[in-house]
Structure 1
Amino acid sequence: MIKKMMKKFLSTKNSPFQNEPEQKVFHQQFNGDLQIIEQKLKQAFGNTADLIIENIQFGQKQGLLVYLNTLTDWQVISSKILLPLTEAANQQEQVFTESDWVDFGQETFSGAEHTFIKEEQKIIDDIINGQAVILIEGFISVLSIKVLSFENRGIEEPTTQTIVRGPKEGFIENIQVNLSLIRKKIKNPALRFEAFTVGSETSTSVYLAYMDGIINKKILQEIRKRLNDIQTNAIFDSGMLEEYLVDKTFTPFPLLYNTERPDTIASHLITGKFAIIVDGSPFVLTAPTTFSDFLSVSEDYYQPFLMGSFIRMIRYLSFLIALLLPSFYVAVITFHHEMIPTQLLISIITQREGIPFPAVIEALLMEITFEVLREAGIRMPRAVGGTISIVGGLVIGQAAVEAGIVSNIMVIVVALTAISSFVAPVYSFAVSTRILRFGYIILASILGLYGVFLGMIFLVAHLTSLRSFSVPYLSPIAPFKLQDHGDIFVRVPAWASKKRPSYLQTEKPSKQPDYNTPTPPKKRGGAS
Structure 2
Amino acid sequence: MSIYRKLVKSRIKTRSKSQLQTSDELLERGHSQKAISKYLKLNKNQVQSVFEGNFDFLIEEMKVGQQVAAIVYLRTMVDLNMVAKQITETLAEIEDEMVLETRGQLNQLYNKYFSSHECYLIEHEHEVVWYVLLGYAVIFLEGLPCALAINVVTTQERDISISETQTIVRGPQHSFTEAINTNVSLIRRAVKNPSLKFESYTVGTETKTTVFLGYIKNIANADLVNEARRRVSEANINAIYDSGNLEEMISDTILTPFPLTYHTDRPDTISSHLLDGKFILLVDGSPYVISAPVVFFDFFQVSEDYYQKYMMTTFIRLIRYISFFLALCLPAIYIALTTFHHGLIPTDLLISIQAQREGVPFPAVLELLMMEITFEILREAGVRMPRVVGQTVSIVGALVIGQAAVEAGVVSNFLVIIVALTAMAGFVSPIYSFANSIRLLRFGLIFITAALGMFGTLVGLLAILLHLISLRSFGVPYFAPLGPFIIEDQKDVFVRFPFQKTNIRPTYLKTSSKNKSSSKESGG
How many equivalent pairs are there? Answer: 492
Q: 2:53 aligns with which of 27, 43, 47?
A: 47
1:24·1:44 contact (CA, 8 Å) conserved in 2?
Answer: no
Q: What is residue 375 of structure 1 aligned with on the other side?
A: 380
Aligned residue in 2 for 1:6: none
Identify which range, 316-325 or 40-49, moves more after superposition: 40-49
RMSD, aligned CA = 1.4
Is this contact kept in 1: 2:66–2:98, CA < 8 A?
A: no
TM-score (norm 1): 0.91
What per-residue deviation string (whole Å, max 9, x for no partner) do you get for residues 323-348 of structure 1?
00000000000011001111111111
Q: Which residue of 1 aligns with 2:316?
A: 311
Give the structure 1 partner of residue 92 of structure 2.
Answer: 86
CA contact (8 A) 2:186 2:267 kept: yes
> Which residues of 2 match residues 179-190 of structure 1 at below 5 A?
179-190=184-195
1:234 counterpart = 2:220: no
Mapped partners of 2:104, 2:517: distance in 1: 53
Q: Does 1:320 align with 2:331?
A: no
Runs of at least 5 residues in structure 2 that lack an aligned partner in the other structure: 1-27, 520-524
Superposed CA offset, 1:17-76 (max 9, x none): xxxxx8323323323232332232223223101111111222222221011100111111
Tell me which amino acid in the other structure corresponds to 1:466: L
From 150, 159, 162, the equivalent of 2:155 is 150
Partner AA of 1:363 in structure 2: L
Give, as a single letter, the amino acid of the residue that structure 2 aligns with 1:38: K
Q: Shift in Å at residue 351 of structure 1?
A: 0.5
**Equivalent position SS for 2:115:** coil
Whole-Å Cα distance in 1 between the matches of residues 269 and 346 of structure 2? 46
The answer as to whether partners of 1:102 and 1:141 remain within 8 angstroms in 2 is no
* Alignment of 1:76 onto 2:82: yes
- Distance in 2 of aligned mates of 1:32 and 1:96: 10
Do the aligned residues in 2 keep the contact of 1:258 with 1:285 (CA within 8 Å)?
yes
Correspondence list, 1:473-512, <5 A: 473-512=478-517
Map 1:4-43 onto structure 2 (within 5 A).
Answer: 23-43=29-49
Q: 1:84 to 1:373 in 2, by over 3 A?
A: same
- AA aligned opposite 1:139: L
Structure 2 Cα separation of the partners of residues 508 and 418 of structure 1: 42
| Matched residue type, 1:62 | V
Q: Point out where structure 1 has 5 or more consecutive residues left out of the alignment.
A: 1-21, 515-528
Task: Indicate conservation of the 8 Å contact 1:136/1:142, yes or no.
Answer: yes
Equivalent residue, structure 1, for 2:174 = 169
1:408 counterpart (409, 413, 425): 413
Q: What TM-score, normalized to structure 2? A: 0.92
Counterpart of 1:409 in 2: which secondary structure?
A: helix
Deviates more, 1:294-303 or 1:33-42: 33-42
Q: Does 1:244 align with 2:255?
A: no
Which of 361, 369, 373 aligns to 2:366? It is: 361
1:111 matched residue in structure 2:
116
TM-aligned CA deviation for residue 438 of structure 1: 0.6
Q: Is the 8 A contact 2:248 2:254 kept in 1?
A: no
Do 2:101 and 2:143's aligned partners in 1 also have CA atoms closer than 8 Å?
no
Per-residue CA distance 1:233-292 (angstroms, 9 max, x = gap):
211111111111102341000101000001100000110000000000001101000001
2:336 corresponds to:
331
The match for 2:435 is 430
Task: Give, in whole Å, the separation in 1 of the partners of 2:128 and 2:111.
Answer: 18
Q: Could you say which residue in structure 2 is the equivalent of 1:129?
A: 134
Letter in 2 for 1:397: G
Question: How far apart in 1 are the matches of 2:327 and 2:39?
Answer: 68
Compared with structure 1, are the counterparts of its residues 513 and 226 closer, same or farther at alpha carbon in structure 2 (3 Å cutoff)? Answer: closer
Instruction: Tell me the residue number matched to 1:292.
Output: 297
Aligned partner of residue 154 in structure 1, secondary structure? coil
Residue matched to 2:183: 178
Q: Per-residue displacement from partner, 1:347-396 (whole Å, max 9, x unpaired)?
A: 11110101101110011110000000000000000011011111000000
Q: Give, in angstroms, the shift of residue 513 of structure 1.
A: 6.3
Aligned positions of 1:338-349 closer than 5 A: 338-349=343-354
Deviation readout 1:121-173 (Å, 9 max, x if unpaired)? 22211111111111112223311111111321110001100000000000011
Match of 2:7 in 1: none
Give the letter for the 2:187 counterpart: I
Give the letter for the 2:461 counterpart: M
Q: Percent identity?
A: 49
1:442 matched residue in structure 2: 447
